[in-house]
Chains A and B, each alone.
Chain A
Amino acid sequence: MLITVALALAAGVLALLAIAMGYALGWANRRFYVEVDPKVEAVLAALPGANCGGCGFVGCSAYAEAVAKGDTAVNLCAPGGASCAQQLADIMGVALEESFPYRAVVHCSATRNERLQRTEYRGEQTCTSANLVAGVQGCIYGCLGIGDCAAACQYDAVHVVDGLSTIDYDKCIGCGACARACPRNIITMVPFKSERMLVVACSNQDAAADVRAVCMVGCIGCKACMRAAPDLITIEGALPSINYDNYDPTDETLQKVLEKCPRKRVLFVGRPTKAELAAVADEEMPEPVQADFKTTVDDTAWRG
């Protein structure tokens, strides 16, 4: 009799609890229902989900909400690229203006041996901290080479080679993290209208004598580039600046500018062209090592 009553009571309590909670959750589901715009879900599905912040919003869900509201451009997602922009344009029913991928460009090209070092820096190993200290490096505008940009990049596209920050254009997706990380603001985002773009690879605004004192390759402000292509290049201080709105990849003057610069600081950067690849086709290239992450541990990593 005790066992019967105990079992019946146990079963009754559990059943009642389950029914009560079921009702409570069902009621709450209706009462606390949050209207989710189906467009937000569609946009979120189209976005790559990298949460890189390159669009200027905190994450992909924030950008999806802004796009669904209708007041934000659909082509702000750099990792998504043109295909994603097209999908977003289709979802929102807008036409897509032509846009180019933005990629990072480092406006300095002096390796460690080419620039004047002053004292050995022994502080916190970040560019931000080194930038606050006077006398670390001769050139106060150029790359410090400690690697805040490389640390900021989530896509393994920035590396410090010989003390100079270098961008791997096969991997750069244009999120802008490195540009935001650089304390000297010498990394900018440039619209890549072609695979190889002409850039000014120096940030030193001082006069020629001062530049030569601190760097073997810096821009001396001779203005030869501006004379060769006056529509494209303007001089600010003693430093040229390229207007990328007027930039036409097929223009012949680009090659002329490259030849005219005595210090060879106005260069092409980007992916190698077919001709250049053919020229090194005989050389042995090392195989990139691909990591294999597929184990029986599921992608939904339980870190409980």
Chain B
Amino acid sequence: MGEPEAGGGEAPGRGHALAMDTLATLILIFVGAALINNFVLHYFVGICPFLGVSRRVDTAFGMGCAVTFVISIAALLNWTFTYFVLRPGAPLPAWVWAAAGGDPATQVDLSVLSYIIYIFVIASSVQLVEMYVRKFFPPLYRSFGVYLPLITTNCAILFACLEIMKHMQDPTKVWGLHEALALAVGGGIGFTLAISLMAGIREELDLCEVPRPLKGAGIALIVAGIMAMAFMGFTGVDKGVHAALSALLR
């Protein structure tokens, strides 16, 4: 899964370089998902809670934390499933095909099952998490447990899983678990950032004289548009981060 080798006694420098490369990749993926390609403001996923739950900063932050938490768990489970079963060249179908005496030149590709399995895993894991939190952390459940069923149909979770799947289609360059988690956690933190900023702005908007037709969703979308423009300023930051990391870690 891309873990850096110890390097043995032969090439300790090579192991070090590999670890630094991995770290740089992880940081780039994380910053990319959180800021440059923010899930809400660039990819338009998670708009519904973004408009619905962003009236007060504390509820918005709670929702953001819940989403980050669920995205990480969903990414973990779905990555495992995709790696072993669903991607082209996965071990399980290859083993079954070989056991059935099939021609090793052709591949059994189960990726058509992806969407069904992803959404099923997300829904079940959210249900399990909700039951667990309700039993063992009642104060936590009272603060954000009510959002958990809402998150099942949140586009952001499924989108993160689809992005991870996209990077696992090429059998020679398959994303490892660490890259998948970097994307998921980065996306969740980006969502939390966007929704908390929006909640702060909307709290101030409550005191302003918004024209009646625009009250509610209208003005929220216009503010989101301006926020999206602001976040467009992060374009090209990945090159800068890459250069900085190269200079720092070499």
Bound complex: CA A2 to CA B112 (Å): 15
Q: Is A297 an interface residue (CB 8 A)?
A: no
Task: Flag if A2 contacts B102 (CB, 8 Å).
Answer: yes
Using CB atoms and an 8 Å cutoff, list the residues of chain A in contact with chain B. 1-2, 5-6, 9-10, 13-14, 17-18, 21, 24-25, 28-29, 31-34, 124-126, 303-304
Bound complex: CA A169 to CA B121 (Å): 54
Task: Flag if B207 contacts A5 (CB, 8 Å).
Answer: no
Please give 14 more A-B residue pairs, beta carbons under 8 A apart, in addition to A17-B117, A124-B207. Answer: A1-B102, A5-B97, A6-B108, A9-B93, A9-B96, A10-B113, A14-B113, A24-B124, A25-B124, A28-B127, A28-B131, A29-B131, A33-B135, A304-B153
- Determine the residue in chain B with the shortest Cβ distance to A124: B207
Task: Flag if A32 contacts B124 (CB, 8 Å).
Answer: no
Bound complex: CA A119 to CA B97 (Å): 87
Q: Is B229 an interface residue (CB 8 A)?
A: no
Contact check: which of B112, B120, B128 meets A28 at CB < 8 Å? Answer: B128
Bound complex: CA A304 to CA B127 (Å): 17
Bound complex: CA A2 to CA B48 (Å): 42
Task: Flag if B108 contacts A17 (CB, 8 Å).
Answer: no
Task: Flag if B52 contacts A9 (CB, 8 Å).
Answer: no
Contact A21 B135, CB 8 Å, known A2-B106, A28-B128, A303-B52: no
For residue B143, give the distance in angstroms from its CB to the closest CB of chain A.
Answer: 12
Residues 111-128 of chain B, each 1 if its beta carbon lies under 8 Å from chain A, else 0: 011001100110010011
Task: Flag if A34 contacts B48 (CB, 8 Å).
Answer: no
Task: Flag if A9 contacts B110 (CB, 8 Å).
Answer: yes
6 contacts between A and B (CB under 8 A): A10-B113, A13-B117, A14-B116, A25-B128, A32-B136, A126-B207
Using CB atoms and an 8 Å cutoff, list the residues of chain B in contact with chain A. 48, 52, 85, 92-93, 96-97, 100, 102, 106, 108-110, 112-113, 116-117, 120-121, 124, 127-128, 131-132, 134-136, 150, 153, 207
Task: Flag if A5 contacts B135 (CB, 8 Å).
Answer: no
Contact check: which of B112, B117, B131, B207 meets A32 at CB < 8 Å? Answer: B131
Contact check: which of B48, B92, B93 meets A303 at CB < 8 Å? Answer: B48
For residue A88, give the distance in angstroms from its CB to the closest CB of chain B.
Answer: 22
**Which 9 A-B residue pairings sit nearest by Cβ, starting from the closest?**
A32-B135, A32-B131, A21-B124, A303-B52, A28-B131, A304-B153, A304-B48, A6-B108, A5-B100
For residue A61, give the distance in angstroms from its CB to the closest CB of chain B.
Answer: 9
Contact check: which of B85, B110, B128 meets A6 at CB < 8 Å? Answer: B110
- List of A residues within 8 angstroms of B110 by Cβ: 6, 9-10, 13
